[in-house]
Amino acid sequence: MTFNHMITTYFTCYLQNERGVSINTIKSYKDGIRMFVEYLCRVLKVNAERINARSITLDHVLSFLTFVEQERGNSPATRNQRLAGLKTFFKFIAAKDPEFMHLNELVQTIKFKQTAYCPPPSLTVEEMDAILAVPDTDTLLGSRDHAMLTLMYHTGARVQEIADLTINDIEFAKNPFVSLTGKGQKTRLIPLLQETIDSLCAYLEFRKQFGIESEHLFLNNKAEPITRFGIGRRVKKYTQIAAEQCPSLRGRKVSPHVFRHTCALHMIEAGVDIVLVQEVLGHKRLKTTSQYIEVSIERKRKALGALVSKSDPASREKPRWKTPKILDFLRNGRERYVA
């Protein structure tokens, strides 16, 4: 098997069919492997079609990671992302050809770099309400956007999951729910609030009035399925408009994924069991979901800190029973001091 064949089989058969990896993950891995191939072309001084997989060494992988950070100026987090893709790739080719088992073992020993913990960005209830209040629900596009944003917030769905939804994925019966298909083509059923159902029904009624027919739920102004990038642009637009009435949104970078973080955090703060939050979000590991508990605690800590800072301890009068008699005398201007 040639190096080129290894790469094409890795993406078309292994990742997509055997592992069921999402389209976005495949795209990210493709970017990393492409950079690695281009780097090999440079150091081996051959074109991509003539790269011999047996000429690749651990030093090539390590020097590539250094190249990513130093020459490309990428962050340790991006370097770790590229490394994760390479580890998966070399594990695949080792499984296909035992000759690469030793190289794979060496690649798997490369450590991921530690990165500074950055809590997931989220919105307050007031900020979210301000954004949801912006779309004009008396128009087709405004009704669509209100339904779309409300559904994202109330389900914690990934943006690609929203873009891929069909009308048949929504159950409008007695116990309404949405069927979301996430990473690894895994499906999860999320109950829908009446507010979300009302918003979706209003949007679909508009579509009916305009004679728009499509199995996809959310369509762009050309009646074609909206893309994740289109959704991102709508979120950005409404955030900027909402900032005029909600100052805390000014200068904020709000993406569809922030809606997902916000849904998770608000569920945690409402006392929803973390295992249930994990199921709603479709997280593979509970550790991923537990980060929202840390954010919730930090928000409470900041709120308490702000409460304390508003009250200057030096300006507070001590309780009367702790006040020395001499100070009591001076404050009240008494004529005589009683010992």
Catalytic residue among 82, 146, 158, 266: 158
Helix locations, 45-75, DSSP H: 58-70
Dihedrals phi, psi of 74, to nearest 5 degrees: -80, 160
Angle at 233 between CA 117 and CA 180, to 5 degrees: 70
Q: Which residues contact 47 (CB under 8 A, 6 or more apart)?
A: 41
The yes-or-no answer on residue 216 being catalytic is no
Rounded CA-CA distance 168/195 in Å is 19
Rounded CA-CA distance 69/220 in Å is 39
Catalytic residue among 82, 144, 260, 266: 260
Q: What is the DSSP string of 295-308?
A: HHHHHHHHHHHHHH
Angle at 162 between CA 159 and CA 166, to 5 degrees: 155
The yes-or-no answer on residue 183 being catalytic is yes
The yes-or-no answer on residue 5 being catalytic is no
Catalytic residue among 60, 87, 183, 188: 183
The yes-or-no answer on residue 144 being catalytic is no
Rounded CA-CA distance 47/38 in Å is 9
Q: How far is CA 244 from the centre of its chain?
A: 25
Sign of CA dihedral 279, 284, 286, 291: negative
Angle at 95 between CA 91 and CA 98, to 5 degrees: 110
Catalytic residue among 87, 216, 228, 257: 257
Rounded CA-CA distance 192/176 in Å is 6
The yes-or-no answer on residue 283 being catalytic is yes
The yes-or-no answer on residue 260 being catalytic is yes
Rounded CA-CA distance 148/255 in Å is 13
Q: Which of 151, 156, 140, 149 is nearest to 236 (CA)?
A: 149
Would you name the residues annotated as active-site residues?
Answer: 158, 183, 257, 260, 283, 292
